[in-house]
Chains A and B, each alone.
Chain A
Amino acid sequence: MKKFKTLAIILAGIFLFTSMIGETEEGDKLIGVWEPSNKKIYLKIDKISGKYYGKIVWLREPIDPVTGKPKTDKNNPDESLKDVPLKGFRMLKDFVYKGDGEWADGTIYDPQNGSTYNCVIKLRDDNTLDIRGYIGLKTFGRTDVWKRLVNKKKKK
């Protein structure tokens, strides 16, 4: 009886652990490099302390035509951060995997106007994301389609 109990506890433990791993792997499908539909930037999404964050890693036009220098976050509401380089800027923050291919509780920042919007991300398929930025209610928002980018040469 005691042996059965121990076995049951071990099996339950393994089940719990593997299901947690499964959940993590599902959530980690968001990790990677993505391109918004306007094709102006690449964003790399990584995981930090259990939440998902996305930073700009590539800009199609990295130089500001007015200053002739690399683009910075000139619209940041905090005046002291207006010179933070856009390359590396974290546009997506604090996403938590909710299951069923959806990440929520996060925000998306629009460097074009310095506004931060609520955001929800849905995995349409392994290589396509529906990203909806909104204000308060999801009704007041807009959905964009992002595509996954990979380094095929390196994979070979």
Chain B
Amino acid sequence: MINSFLKTQFIALLVIVLWGCGKSEPIQTDVQKLETIAVGPLFEGVNTATVEFDIQKLLPGEVKKDQLSEVRIKSILIGLSNSEAPVPNSFTVLLASPNTSMKECGFIKEESIKMNNYQVSLAEEQDFLVEILQDNMQTLVIDFDLKEDWFDDLTVTAAIDWELKFKK
């Protein structure tokens, strides 16, 4: 009798533990492409381009963003559509959302830009991403340091490759 009671207890505990440690499943998504216009005139020095998005639109229908359990950025590629625009000295890429703190995701060094490499060097620490992506909406912020004035608008693109996992 006692044995049977203990067995039941053990199974119940096991179920609870397994439920709690539910395995995260990866989500296959396309590379997210964002585009924004930094409205000119843009003067020499630090300028900003921002774009708001909702990560939910990138997720498959059956996955809600609240279920995201692990998030990493695999890569971010920045692009400038106006070829005549002055090449910035540097880029810093940040993410923000209404109910979390803005965080640096990475940056591009002047040396990389000189070699036409607009791949963002990503931050090691990315634990903050889950919270940001679970928020109502997300804002990608790109700060770039222009070498000289540019009196037109500047179209900035970002291609973000996410590594997402969710819990059912």
Contact = CB atoms under 8 A, between A and B. Distances in A.
B101 A94 contact: yes
Interface stretch (A18-26, A76-84, A126-134, A135-143): A76-84
B145 interface: yes
A49 B52 contact: yes
B92 A85 contact: yes
B104 interface: yes
B122 interface: yes
A84 B96 contact: no
B98 A88 contact: no
B100 to A, nearest CB: 8
A55 B46 contact: yes
Contact of A88 (B90, B109, B123): B90
Contacts of B96: 48-49, 51, 53, 94
Given A90-B94, A90-B143, A94-B101, A81 B107 contact: yes
B124 interface: yes
B76 interface: no
A56 B144 CA distance: 12
Interface in B87-117: 89-90, 92, 94, 96-98, 101-102, 104, 106-107, 109
A83 B121 CA distance: 10
Contacts of A80: 106, 121-125
A40 B94 CA distance: 24
Contacts of B141: 48, 53
Interface of B: 45-46, 48, 50, 52, 89-90, 92, 94, 96-98, 101-102, 104, 106-107, 109, 121-125, 137, 139, 141, 143-145
25 contacts: A46-B48, A48-B48, A48-B139, A49-B97, A49-B137, A49-B139, A50-B98, A53-B96, A55-B143, A58-B45, A78-B123, A80-B122, A81-B104, A81-B106, A83-B107, A83-B109, A83-B121, A85-B90, A85-B145, A87-B46, A87-B90, A88-B92, A93-B101, A94-B102, A107-B101
Q: Which 4 A-B pairs have the closest CB atoms?
A: A80-B124, A88-B46, A78-B125, A49-B139
